[in-house]
Each structure stands twice: as structure tokens, then as C-alpha cells.
């Protein structure tokens, strides 16, 4: 068996009831929810287990909720003795990855992302910014369409997710114009996304400046597991590099396809998506179909992943 990487999801992976099964069955998961509730002074548990889809969609709620479910799933895997060789997280997921790597205390991380969500929410008035997904055009084509659509406004690639999928972000009118150009240029799909702010764009600068202050007050340790950053798609191991990456990430694009290719180059051939949903699993299949990909978000997926990892190990031992 080659190397193993844990991938942690970002916004858009949330759903009502997420994490409840793991918390009910595993004390290691339950304690993460308890810690989040105490750190924030409100019930993240209730938000995840019984909250509505609408309340989970609010950025200031989404970010701590996904982080908590992801870390809960990670703690159960760790308790079962599954340790990654590398970690990476998609946007918000980089915080979960840093907690897993031992660089950031969970209580610090959950408070940071709660405030990060609030800053992002207030950086741009609702309706002023937007995001859209462009499918079936090469990333360079999408970047060129954004340049044509800008007209003095902000619109640029925000998530370079796979060869097939680029998400763009910026001023609503410019994003809509880029969507129209993409459709006319033969995109398979070009759709506006139901998000509350134009993430990973220059419009997020006020949020970046506020978040910078919080991050500089937070202690970051040396990583016990190397991490591939969103902003540079490069491997880091120092706490200072981790902090700088999180600061820059607020306004810069997520270089996800490059991050995955870097992990494959490092010898990773097995990936586990740790946390709610299977968004990253889908993207991974678009990037490299030769690798193994599993996920852990509930009891069934946990057992299936543990079984398949054990099987892969025994097969590797036989060869």
C-alpha cells in the first residue's frame, strides 16, 4: 500500500443531522461536540443534529459545524489506529486538517472559524457578491472569460477544483456575465451557487484583515503530519507557514487540483475524505481515477473504510 492522505471538506458539504450517528456511538466523537459547545457558548451539537438546512447555510454556522463534524470523524479514525501520512483540506477544511496535524487546538480552531464566518458574512452586503460553478471548460479558459466579463468589477477563479470544474467569485453582475459567456463558450454547465458571500475573491479583503488579527493571536505548533496548502499547493510543516496560508486563503483561490496532484507525486495512492458529504470524493475522481478514495461521515462509511483499508494493507503485505 502506498501513502495515505486525509482530506477535509469545506462549505457546501453540510447537511441536517450530520455527525449525530458518530456522536451517539463513539465517546471520542461526542467529546468533540461537547468541546465545541463549550468553546462557542452555544450548541453546535443541536445545530448539526437537529438544525434546519437554512440555519446550517449561514456562513457563521456552517464553518464551525463542518469543522466539528470533521474533527469528530477524525478522532474516531485516530482511535481506531488509522494515521495519515499527509493531510489537506478544501478551504475551511484546512482548519480541520491543521487540527488533525496537531498544529492547532480544536477549541481555538472552532472559535477562529466562527468569527471567520461572521467576518465573511459582513464583508460584502448580501446580494452584492456571488459565486458560480463552471463545468466542462479548462481552468485557463475560465480565467480568460472572467477577464472579459469583469468590466471594471471583480470576478476571478476562486476554486480550481478539477480539470472539469472551476468555481468563480466576485461582484454579482460580473459573475453573472461570466456565466453567460461560459454558456456561450460551450461549458457543460454554468450555474450560480447558493452562497452568502463571494469567497476567495478580492472582495473578501476586509474579512482577511480582521481574521489576520485573530490568527496572529493564536498559537500554532509544528505540524506532526505534513499538510498541502490551498494557496500554494505546497507541503508545509511549520506553524508559521500554516498561519500565513490561512490568512492569504481568504482572498486567494483554492488550488485543489494542484494540491491533489502534489499528494499523488508524494506517493499517496489512498485518500479518505473525513467529514460530511462526498464532495471531495467526486472531485478526486475527476482529477485521478487511478487512486483509491474512501470517506468517513457515519457508522456505515466508517466501517466500510476501515475494512477496505485493512484489506489494502494485507494485500500490500502479500506482494
Does one domain contain both 186 and 42?
Answer: no
- Evaluate if residue 319 carries a pLDDT over 80: no
H/E run at residue 33: helix 27-40
Q: With a threshold of 0.85, does the pTM exceed it?
A: yes
- In this structure, are 216 and 169 located in the same domain? no
Average pLDDT over every residue of 194-216: 95
Number of Cα atoms under 13 Å in the Cβ half of residue 206: 12
pLDDT digits (tens, 9 = 90+) for 132-175: 999 999 999 999 999 999 999 999 999 999 999 999 999 999 99
Domain that holds residue 137: 129-195
- Residues identified as active-site: 91, 200
- Taking residues 238-260, report their average pLDDT: 98
Give the C-alpha separation, 166 to 258, whole Å: 13
Q: Are residues 251 and 104 in the same domain?
A: yes
Q: The domain spanning residue 260 has which CATH number?
A: 3.40.366.10
Give the confidence band of 317 by pLDDT, cuts at 50, 70, 90: confident
113-123 pLDDT, tens digit per residue, is 999 999 999 99
**CATH number of the CATH domain containing 175:** 3.30.70.250
| Beta-carbon-side half-sphere exposure of residue 145 (alpha carbons within 13 Å) | 28
Domain boundary among 167, 195, 223: 195
In this structure, the strands spanning 292-296 and 268-274 are: parallel
The pairing of beta strand 86-89 with beta strand 3-8 = parallel
User: What does the pLDDT read at residue 15?
Assistant: 97
The total domain count for the chain is 2
**Which of 195, 226, 247 delimits the end of a domain?**
195
Res. 52: pLDDT tops 80: yes
Which has the higher per-residue pLDDT, 197 or 161?
A: 161
pLDDT digits (tens, 9 = 90+) for 213-237: 999 999 999 999 999 999 999 999 9
Cα(273)–Cα(4) distance, integer angstroms? 11
Helix (H) or strand (E) holding 100: helix 93-100
Cα angle 283, 286, 292; round to 5: 80
Q: Do residue 151 and residue 280 come from a single domain?
A: no
For residues 247 and 205, give the distance between their C-alpha atoms in angstroms, rounded to a whole number. Answer: 10
What confidence tens digit (pLDDT) does each residue in 56-94 have?
Answer: 999 999 999 999 999 999 999 999 999 999 999 999 999
117 and 249 in a common domain: yes
At which of 195, 222, 238 does a domain end? Answer: 195
Cell of 43: 450548541
- The b/e string for 57-73 (b: 16+ C-beta within 10 A; e otherwise) is bbbbbbbbbbbbbbbbb
Q: Are residues 313 and 236 in the same domain?
A: yes
Q: Do 225 and 153 belong to one domain?
A: no
Per residue in 262-311, pLDDT (tens digit) is 999 999 999 999 999 999 999 999 999 999 999 999 999 999 999 999 99
Residues 140 and 113 in one domain: no
Q: Are 233 and 116 found together in one domain? A: yes
Predicted pLDDT of residue 239: 98
| pLDDT score of 195 | 84
Residues 90 and 39 in one domain: yes
Note whether 253 and 222 are same-domain residues: yes
In this structure, the answer to whether residues 188 and 85 fall within a common structural domain is: no
CA distance 295 to 111: 26
Amino acid at each position: 500500500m502506498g501513502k495515505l492522505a486525509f482530506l477535509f471538506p469545506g462549505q457546501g458539504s453540510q447537511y441536517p443531522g450530520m455527525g449525530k450517528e458518530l456522536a451517539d456511538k463513539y465517546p471520542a466523537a461526542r467529546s468533540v461536540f461537547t468541546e465545541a459547545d463549550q468553546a462557542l457558548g452555544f450548541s453546535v451539537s443541536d445545530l448539526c443534529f437537529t438544525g434546519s438546512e437554512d440555519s446550517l447555510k449561514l456562513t457563521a454556522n456552517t464553518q464551525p459545524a463542518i469543522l466539528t463534524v470533521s474533527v469528530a470523524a477524525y478522532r474516531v479514525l485516530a482511535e481506531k489506529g488509522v494515521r495519515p501520512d499527509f493531510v489537506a483540506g478544501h478551504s475551511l477544511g484546512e482548519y480541520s486538517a491543521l487540527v488533525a496535524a496537531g498544529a492547532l487546538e480544536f477549541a481555538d480552531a472552532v472559535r477562529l472559524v466562527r468569527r471567520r464566518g461572521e467576518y465573511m458574512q459582513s464583508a460584502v452586503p448580501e446580494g452584492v457578491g456571488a459565486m458560480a460553478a463552471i463545468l466542462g471548460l479548462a481552468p485557463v479558459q475560465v480565467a480568460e472569460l472572467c477577464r472579459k466579463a469583469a468590466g471594471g468589477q471583480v470576478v476571478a477563479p476562486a476554486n480550481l477544483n478539477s480539470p472539469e470544474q472551476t468555481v468563480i467569485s466576485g461582484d454579482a453582475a460580473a459573475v453573472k456575465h461570466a456565466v453567460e459567456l461560459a454558456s456561450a463558450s460551450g461549458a457543460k454547465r454554468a450555474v450560480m451557487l447558493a452562497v452568502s458571500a463571494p469567497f476567495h475573491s478580492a472582495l473578501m479583503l476586509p474579512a482577511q484583515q480582521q481574521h489576520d488579527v485573530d490568527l496572529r493571536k493564536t498559537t500554532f505548533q509544528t505540524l506532526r503530519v505534513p499538510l498541502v496548502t490551498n494557496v500554494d499547493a505546497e507541503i508545509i510543516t511549520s506553524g508559521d507557514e500554516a498561519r500565513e496560508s490561512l490568512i492569504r486563503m481568504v482572498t486567494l483561490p483554492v488550488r485543489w487540483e494542484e494540491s491533489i496532484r502534489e499528494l499523488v507525486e508524494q506517493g499517496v495512492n489512498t485518500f479518505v475524505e473525513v467529514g460530511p458529504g462526498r464532495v471531495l470524493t467526486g472531485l478526486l475522481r475527476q482529477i485521478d481515477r487511478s487512486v483509491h478514495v474512501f470517506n468517513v461521515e457515519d457508522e456505515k462509511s466508517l466501517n466500510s473504510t476501515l475494512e477496505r483499508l485493512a484489506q489494502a494493507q494485507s494485500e500490500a503485505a502479500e506482494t
